[in-house]
Amino acid sequence: MSSTEKINLDSFCRALPKVELHAHLNGSLSLRIMKKLYELQHSDGRILMDLPNIEEPNSLEECFQLFPIVHSLTSTSEAVFIATCDMIGEFYDDGVIYLEVRSTPRAVDGVMTKKEYVEAIIRGIITSKNRYPEILVKYLISVDRMKGYESAKQNIELAIEMIEQYPDYVVGLDLSGDPSKGSAFLELLEKSRKAGLKITAHCAEVPNEIEIMDILNFKPDRLGHCTCIHPTLNGKEELFQRLIQSNIPIELCLTSNIKCGTVPSYDLHQFKYLYEAGHPICIATDDKGVFNTSLSKEFELAARHFQLSQDTLCQLTINSVKYSFASEIEKSRLTDVINAFRFQSVSTVSNTK
Ligand code: IMP
Ligand code: ZN
């Protein structure tokens, strides 16, 4: 690719109105936001931990070692509120028009309850509507598989309470956490589905055939990653075929999987096999702060490594709207915005030929 083509692709990916369906709040905080939160703790005289030099992770284990550092900066309602507003602002600056932010309710003894944590995020989303009116934001409450049954139950009950109270903002549940530990708590997730919450589950970040089958049989509304399913990525042909049959949309986070070392190179990412099979997929960032990426960069990487045309990038974005947990009216409006961009960029290209 020539340098002019690269610049064209860069600016196209930045200008494209994008849809982010897989972003963990604390993993999405840039160094700039972390420094701001650190300064805030300093001015309050409440330093919990010095901000160490944050190195990019090289393995799943190193990735999970970074989260406690970020969590030490979001340990009050005020800090969670600021983190939410600033994270939304950065996605907005990157041209994102729809964002589903997910985050695990966290209590801090004597400082914040899980409910206060969740309400701080909702306050952040509501405040951001005035600051950044062109981005629509929803919240998925996370269940951390590592934190045990009681914690999972609390988060699910909180999510059910919150969807009743804030149906415009809280729309779903996310199963996440260190994939090498804990359990998927599928029996608990069933309860939240009955309450109207959509469900997305991290799946197959590490090889685990029994859990993969359990998750596929549970039929979440979306899946995250689905890495160790294809035979070339520590999976099996039967598992891959079962995934394809399920037709469940998959959130794919290229850089996250490379930096965690679960995929050896961009060219060999499961994106290739899923895209070739015509499976529903969407491009997402996972933890843009921890992995030093952006949604525009992820689109650019996908376009370069899998030879996607600009029109295909538009189509992938329109598909993401379809797989989102927005209402039908919201989906229709978002699709119109992307189609307007699509037709404008097609006519600009033909006018310059
Ligand atoms: P939070 O939920 O806003 O605190 O975001 C950080 C949390 O997201 C981590 O503690 C994990 O539970 C979860 N998380 C972030 N990235 C990943 C991933 O790649 N796989 C599984 N869980 C993740
Ligand atoms: Zn994730």
Quick one: which H or E segment has residue 100? strand 96-103
C-alpha 24 chain-centroid distance? 5
Q: What is the mean pLDDT of residues 310-334?
A: 98
125, 162 in Cβ contact below 8 A?
no
**Mind giving me the DSSP string for 72-85?**
HHS-SHHHHHHHHH
Domains for the chain: give ranges and CATH numbers: 12-352 (3.20.20.140)
Q: How far is the CA of 348 from the centre of ligand 2 (A)?
A: 36
User: Ligand 1 pocket: which residues have CB below 6 Å?
Assistant: 24-27, 67, 103-104, 142, 144, 176-177, 179, 202, 205, 256, 286-287
Best of 21, 65, 67 to mutate for ligand 1, by most ligand atoms within 8 A of CB?
A: 67
Question: Distance between CA atoms of 98 and 92, rounded to whole angstroms?
Answer: 9
Q: Which atom belonging to ligand 1 lies closest to the Cα atom of 260?
A: 19
Q: Note the pLDDT tens digit of each residue in 173-192.
A: 999 999 999 999 999 999 89
Structure-block tokens of residue 81: 């509120």
Structure-block tokens of residue 150: 């009681």
Question: Distance between CA atoms of 72 and 92, rounded to whole angstroms?
Answer: 25
Q: How far is the CA of 104 from the centre of ligand 2 (A)?
A: 12
What is the residue type of 14? R
Q: How far is the CA of 338 from the centre of ligand 2 (A)?
A: 25
Angle between helices 31-44 and 60-73 (to 10 degrees): 40
Q: Note the pLDDT tens digit of each residue in 46-93.
A: 655 566 666 788 899 998 999 999 999 999 999 999 999 999 999 999
Which pLDDT value is given to residue 215? 97
Structure-block tokens of residue 137: 């934001």
Beta bridge mates, 39: none
Question: Distance between CA atoms of 326 and 28, rounded to whole angstroms?
Answer: 21
Q: Note the pLDDT tens digit of each residue in 189-221.
A: 998 999 999 999 999 999 999 999 999 999 999
Residue 29 gets which letter from DSSP? -
pLDDT band per the 50, 70, 90 thresholds, residue 350: low
Question: Distance between CA atoms of 285 and 291, rounded to whole angstroms?
Answer: 8
Beta bridge mates, 81: none
Average pLDDT, the chain: 94
Is 205 catalytic? The answer is yes
Question: Distance between CA atoms of 74 and 199, rounded to whole angstroms?
Answer: 25
Q: Which residues contact 332 (CB under 8 A, 6 or more apart)?
A: none
Provide the 3-class DSSP secondary structure of residue 242: helix
Which pLDDT value is given to residue 192? 92
Q: What is the mean pLDDT of residues 321-326?
A: 98
Q: Note the pLDDT tens digit of each residue in 227-256.
A: 999 999 999 999 999 999 999 999 999 999
Question: Distance between CA atoms of 260 and 287, rounded to whole angstroms?
Answer: 11
- Smallest CA-to-CA distance from 103 within 149, 150, 137 is with 137
Catalytic residue among 119, 205, 298, 300: 205
Rounded alpha-carbon distances, angstroms, from residue 182 to 39, 145, 152, 212, 263:
35, 5, 11, 14, 22
Q: How far is the CA of 287 from the centre of ligand 1 (A)?
A: 8
Q: Which residues contact 66 (CB under 8 A, 6 or more apart)?
A: 54, 57, 290
User: Which residue has the CA at smallest separation from atom 12 of ligand 1?
Assistant: 177
